Amino acid sequence: MNARPTTAISSVQIRPLVAADAVAYKALRDEALRTAPDAFTSDYESSVGRDASEYVARFGTVESGQFFLGAFDAAGQLLGCLGCEREQRTKQRHCAVLVGMMVSPGAQRQGIGQQLVAACVAAACRVPGLTQLVLTVTASNTHVVHLYEQAGFRAWGLLPRAIVVDGVGFDKLHMVRVLIPDSNDTDP
């Protein structure tokens, strides 16, 4: 029998972040950078002093391909988020990068990350012209690698020592998920 509470999973609401969510987003981001420094390319020390308003530009519309989704509990508290950032160069506009996957430590291992990834993929499928998603994940974080694999992402490369935290190098696994196969493309 599963010991995890199902109420935490079923009561989560996922929606795009808006300017009014900036303070909650910054608090979640600061906590994630502090508690999981090997999971992010950004660092806590450089980010903690930033004003919450600096993040609002990341909260575009889903249709733009530049958006963040947030997972909120029944009381409206932000428990997790995941961003999608569409490439701006003409030749790369078919791609978007998933960034900033964060789940509050107290809400982890309850399916919130899985729900965020599924919702982000579904939203990305509605973006005109967007045909693939890419991401990087710390290779040693096997739980999160597995989460992405379950969502249809597959590894295509490994960058050794992509980040260094307190003198320790961490590899980043590059992953891709095709949204709409292009008849001119071969299997990525």
Beta-sheet pairing, 95-103 with 132-138? parallel
112-125 and 142-150 helices, crossing angle to 10° = 40
d(CA 78, CA 178): 29
Contact by Cβ (8 Å): 169, 161: yes
Residue of 144, 168, 169 lying closest to 155 (CA atoms): 144
More confident residue, 104 or 4: 104
pTM: 0.88
pLDDT-derived band at 3, boundaries 50, 70, 90: very low
pLDDT digits (tens, 9 = 90+) for 70-129: 999 999 999 999 999 999 999 999 999 999 999 999 999 999 999 999 999 999 999 999
Which residue type is seen at 183? S
